[in-house]
Chains A and B, each alone.
Chain A
Amino acid sequence: MGWIGDTVDSIKSIQVRQLLTQGVSLGMIVTSALIIWKALMCFTGSESPVVVVLSGSMEPGFKRGDILFLHMSNDPIRTGEIVVFNVDGREIPIVHRVIKVHERQETEEVEVLTKGDNNYGDDRLLYAQGQLWLQRHHIMGRAVGFLPYVGWVTIIMTEKPIIKVFSAFVDGPSLSLVTVDDEN
């Protein structure tokens, strides 16, 4: 009977209120980060308003670890714009520059070819089999702003998940830095 009494005592000594308060604070931080993220998605019209550059295909302009701010509007796509697009079958979006545009008369359909600044050839190798052009629905957004080096946090957290766990205990808001990455 003694050990039941001891267990009950030790459970009673946990300050339930304090624990609950901490839990609610963490929940508040996470949900406010989510609210900011969704609001950004609404505001910029893009599915992922912030991307991290993962590869060197746009060097020396964008290096690995840089962050790009995206914006999507209904303006027509023109050459020179840096667009983020998804290829069927690839989960990671790609950030490259548009080099060719063919826009149909009458309708707003457009066919677009992209190329990374640091790549030798255009992106036809990266598109799905048999696909020669990108259409508007492939494109997720245009890059309008840029911040260097900040994306390394996300790269480190993705490649060494143990740091994610560690940082959750240390600093809740750093969890909200999970962004979509890009490659090639």
Chain B
Amino acid sequence: MHSFGFRANAVLTFGITILAFICAMASVSDNFNSPRPSAEIQILNINWFQKQHGNDEEILSLKLAVSLDLNVDVGGWHEVNMPDRRLCKVWDVVPICLFSPIDVTAVMASLTMNITADLQSLFTWNTKQVFVFIAAEYETPKNALNQVSLWDAIIPAKEHAKFWVQTANKYRFVDQGNNLRGKHFNLTLHWHVMPKTGKMFANKLVIPGYRLPEEYR
């Protein structure tokens, strides 16, 4: 009853129970925080707005494949047309087929945004970081809701939570079809609070009233 094994077991179990309890309490304490964040987004300029043949998303993925250092001393990239009309790149003998049939067209836009936000009230002592991103939301005849993330950032500490940033969209503003001409859309600022332990929670601020131009340029 008093052997080393029993004592170690008892200490460990007790320690883990207390730790679990403290983590739960830390998470509960997050509920007492009532955040009042504020933000403002201004679109300075629509840089370009084009219809493209083939989908730029896939080209971006291919560039990533190359940069992932696929052990490349010999050989090179060759293009190969597969029987099902996919266009593939072949490195040495390993085909990397990232393209769907290339008669897909996509419309995409590039914007420059001015983002001012004050998210300091979201931080508690149990917060590890806040992930903030901006999504454009719009409706099309085929889709009831489309949400496209344009920009995101990680705020590691309270000091950085009040910021002003001017940036182009980090991710392509691209639609599944050709529905973006003259489209009205909302810009929504989402934040996702990631705690040191416990429950994560997220919320958003909707800023309506933006519009893409009628004509491509």
On A, residues with C-beta under 8 Å from B are: 60-62, 76, 78-82, 97, 99-106, 111, 117, 120-122, 124-125, 129-130, 132, 143-148, 170-171
Residues of B in contact, count (CB < 8 Å): 46
Give the chain B neighbours of A76 by CB distance below 8 A.
145
Give the chain A neighbours of B149 by CB distance below 8 A.
79-80, 99-100
Contact A146 B143 (CB under 8 A): no
Interchain CB contact (< 8 A) of B65 among A125, A130, A143: A125
Within 125-183 of B, Cβ neighbours of A (below 8 Å) are at 128-129, 131, 133, 135, 141-149, 152, 154, 156, 171, 176
Contact B145 A145 (CB under 8 A): no
Q: Which of B33-41, B116-124, B192-200 has 4 or more CB atoms under 8 Å from chain A?
A: B192-200
Give the chain B neighbours of A97 by CB distance below 8 A.
131
Instruction: Check B97 for interface membership: any CB of A closer than 8 A.
Output: yes
Give the chain A neighbours of B145 by CB distance below 8 A.
76, 101-103
Q: In the assembly, what is the distance between CA of A122 and CA of B152, in Å?
A: 13
Number of CB contacts from chain A to chain B under 8 A: 106
Instruction: Check B90 for interface membership: any CB of A closer than 8 A.
Output: no
Instruction: Check B113 for interface membership: any CB of A closer than 8 A.
Output: no
Contact A144 B200 (CB under 8 A): yes
Q: In the assembly, what is the distance between CA of A145 and CA of B142, in Å?
A: 35
Give the chain A neighbours of B142 by CB distance below 8 A.
104-105
3 nearest A-B residue pairs (beta carbon): A99-B149, A121-B64, A101-B147
Instruction: Check B60 for interface membership: any CB of A closer than 8 A.
Output: yes
**Given contact pairs A61-B131, A61-B194, A104 touches B97 in the complex (Cβ within 8 A):** no
Instruction: Check B50 for interface membership: any CB of A closer than 8 A.
Output: no
Besides A130-B100, A146-B194, 15 more A-B contacts (Cβ < 8 Å) are A60-B128, A60-B129, A61-B194, A76-B145, A80-B135, A105-B141, A111-B176, A120-B67, A122-B57, A124-B58, A125-B64, A132-B100, A145-B27, A145-B200, A146-B195
Give the chain A neighbours of B129 by CB distance below 8 A.
60-61
Give the chain B neighbours of A120 by CB distance below 8 A.
64, 67
Interchain CB contact (< 8 A) of A61 among B27, B64, B128: B128
Distance from A97 Cβ to chain B, minimum over Cβ atoms (Å) = 8
Interchain CB contact (< 8 A) of B61 among A82, A99, A104, A121: A121
Contact B27 A100 (CB under 8 A): no
Give the chain A neighbours of B194 by CB distance below 8 A.
61-62, 146
Distance from B38 Cβ to chain A, minimum over Cβ atoms (Å) = 19
Distance from B3 Cβ to chain A, minimum over Cβ atoms (Å) = 13
Instruction: Check B9 for interface membership: any CB of A closer than 8 A.
Output: yes
Contact A103 B135 (CB under 8 A): no
Give the chain A neighbours of B133 by CB distance below 8 A.
79-80, 99
Contact B146 A144 (CB under 8 A): no
Contact A121 B131 (CB under 8 A): no
Instruction: Check B190 for interface membership: any CB of A closer than 8 A.
Output: yes
Contact A125 B61 (CB under 8 A): yes
Instruction: Check B98 for interface membership: any CB of A closer than 8 A.
Output: yes
Give the chain B neighbours of A170 by CB distance below 8 A.
5
Chain A residue at minimum C-beta to C-beta distance from B95:
A129
Chain A residue at minimum C-beta to C-beta distance from B61:
A124
Chain A residue at minimum C-beta to C-beta distance from B101:
A130
Interchain CB contact (< 8 A) of A79 among B60, B135, B199: B135
Contact A79 B190 (CB under 8 A): yes
Interchain CB contact (< 8 A) of A147 among B23, B147, B171: B23
Contact B154 A79 (CB under 8 A): no
